[in-house]
Amino acid sequence: MDIRRRRVLQLLGLSAAALTVKPVYDALAADPAAGRPRVGPGREQLKAKQWAMVIDTRRFASEADVEPLIEACHRIHNVPHFELKRWEIKWIWATEYKHAFSGTSSDRFLADAVEKRPFLVLCNQCENPPCVRACPTKATFKREDGIVMMDFHRCIGCRFCMAACPFGARSFNYTDPRPYLKHTNKLFPTRMKGVVEKCSFCAERLAEGKRPACVEAAGGKIAFGDLYDPASEAHQWVRKNYTLRRKVNLGTEPAVYYIV
């Protein structure tokens, strides 16, 4: 039998090509996600474009009305209590109108009721957060649902965010907070010495389909929801009532609204 060199090369080429058919077919036909772990949100995860809170301050008359809310928050988030003011750590607290809204209104004389009323203040979850811009490690960042979140793992304790926040909403751990905790919620981590912390709009509760702890403890005195969703309670409250926000002139666009 006579076979030419050209023919041999052709056959070799063909058979080499034929050998690749199966691997190529397998690679293309296989579902790339099969057999690999996946991550995703829980089924109960609450979603929003920008979470917002509307506080009806008319219904908080005295310290006794705000105390349970503060306690509820600080308890579940393992926020320690320090006697020493300099070391104080707070996620949500009460203050007077003149401190909360200095520069917002030009009233020389306030209505009596407003002057004495406690105003709950917390991280405003600004739509344009200056703390996020100040953070050199991106430990503070804005989530897609508007929450200004802290990644304690990344925080280096430089406190630029505390200087950047016009609301004093951030606290620094000058010492290990654990010995100063009266109760420990075993489901939530504590913090360590040298990190900054603040309110996170209860991101961990939203993931389970629950509203923030303070909103729940307020029993209808605080509305919580998506600011941009006309069906949400928060949106409706802002539409129906005249509201104030803290230090709007700074342009940080706080997402915590106050009905006065």
Partner 1 sequence: MKDKRWIVSGLVVFLLIVLFPFWYNRGRAVPPPEVKLTEKAKAEKECVLARDYMKAEHMQILDLWRETVVREGNRIYTNPKGREFVMSLSNTCLDCHSNKAEFCDKCHNYASVRPYCWDCHIENPKEAR
Q: CB-based contacts of 98: which residues, under 8 Å, 6+ apart? A: 110, 115
Region near partner 1 per CB under 8 A, out of 114-122, 139-147, 161-169, 248-256: 139-147
Region near partner 1 per CB under 8 A, out of 24-32, 60-68, 137-145, 156-164: 137-145
* Residue type at 192 in one-letter notation: M
How far apart (Å, rounded) are the C-alpha atoms in residues 166 and 195?
Answer: 19
Residue 86 binds partner 1 (CB under 8 A): no
* Count of residues near partner 1 by CB under 8 A: 27
The distance of closest approach from Cβ of residue 197 to partner 1 in the complex, given in angstroms and rounded to an integer, is 10
Burial environment of residue 247 by CB neighbours within 10 A (0 to 12, 13 to 18, 19 or more): middle
Backbone angles phi, psi at 119, to 5 degrees: -105, 120
Q: Are 70 and 89 in contact (CB under 8 A)?
A: no
Among 4, 6, 22, 38, binds partner 1 (CB under 8 A): 38
Among 23, 32, 40, 230, binds partner 1 (CB under 8 A): 40
Region near partner 1 per CB under 8 A, out of 86-94, 129-137, 181-189, 210-218: 181-189
Region near partner 1 per CB under 8 A, out of 102-110, 151-159, 161-169, 234-242: 151-159
Dihedral of CA atoms 230, 235, 240, 245 in degrees, nearest 10, equals -150
How far apart (Å, rounded) are the C-alpha atoms in residues 218 and 120?
Answer: 11
Residue 132 binds partner 1 (CB under 8 A): no
Among 59, 87, 114, 152, binds partner 1 (CB under 8 A): 152
Q: Are 117 and 66 in contact (CB under 8 A)?
A: no
The distance of closest approach from Cβ of residue 161 to partner 1 in the complex, given in angstroms and rounded to an integer, is 16
Residue 4 binds partner 1 (CB under 8 A): no
Q: With respect to partner 1, which residue has the nearer C-beta, 164 or 192? A: 192
How far apart (Å, rounded) are the C-alpha atoms in residues 234 and 54?
Answer: 6
Q: Are 236 and 87 in contact (CB under 8 A)?
A: no
Residue 31 binds partner 1 (CB under 8 A): no
Burial environment of residue 88 by CB neighbours within 10 A (0 to 12, 13 to 18, 19 or more): middle
Query: By CB under 8 A, what part of segment 198-217 binds partner 1?
Result: 203, 207
In three-state secondary structure terms, 10 is: helix
Among 37, 179, 220, 230, binds partner 1 (CB under 8 A): 37
Q: With respect to partner 1, which residue has the nearer C-beta, 188 or 228? A: 188
* Chain residues that interact with partner 1, rule: CB under 8 A: 35-42, 45, 141, 143-145, 149, 151-153, 184-187, 189-192, 203, 207
